[in-house]
Amino acid sequence: MKTIFYNKLLIISLITIATFLISCDNSTFSKAKGEISNFEVKDDIFLSDGLDYGAKISFNLKNTGESGEIKVNVKLSCSEGVWKRQQILHLKSGEIRKVSFIFKEPSIDATNIEGMANVSP
């Protein structure tokens, strides 16, 4: 009886570990360390199948750790809604990269445009 219990416990443990590992990306175990500077949110006009209005979040991303993957999450909110973007970037140690995200969802009538960004690790 104890053997069956321990076998079930082992199977549940293995499934839990496998689920965790599947949900992880390279940035989870990366020794890179992202640092954001010169963060900016502005409304803008873009060229895509004609002129289009929207908002742009841009910033400098510096890797202050070892070479590796850095996950970037950004969010734009305004009177018309909230939108999120995510990207995983590989940066060498000490590398600085200009990162930009374009949001074409807000209309020209949008107000209270705000953005945020965070990185991991």
Query: What would the pLDDT profile of 70-87 be if each residue is shown by its tens digit?
Result: 999 999 999 999 999 999
Nearest to 101 by CA among 27, 35, 46, 24: 46
pLDDT digits (tens, 9 = 90+) for 110-121: 999 999 999 998
More confident residue, 69 or 3: 69
Measured distance CA(120)–CA(103) in Å, rounded: 22
- Determine how many CB atoms are found less than 10 A away from the CB of residue 10: 10
Helix (H, G, I), strand (E, B) or coil at 40: strand
Q: Please name the residues in contact with 71: beta carbons below 8 A apart, sequence gap of 6 or more.
A: 25, 27, 86, 87, 88, 119, 120
Q: What is the CATH number of the domain that holds 63?
A: 2.60.40
Residue span of the structural domain in which 17 resides: 2-120
If 0-12 CB within 10 Å is exposed, 13-18 middle and 19+ buried, where does residue 101 land?
A: buried
pTM for the structure as a whole? 0.75
pLDDT band at residue 50 under the 50/70/90 scheme: confident
According to the model, what pLDDT value does residue 15 have?
67
Distance of CA 32 to the CA centre of its chain: 15
| Structure-block tokens of residue 57 | 């979040």
pLDDT at 2 over 90: no
More confident position, 17 or 37: 37
Count up the domains in the chain and report the number: 1
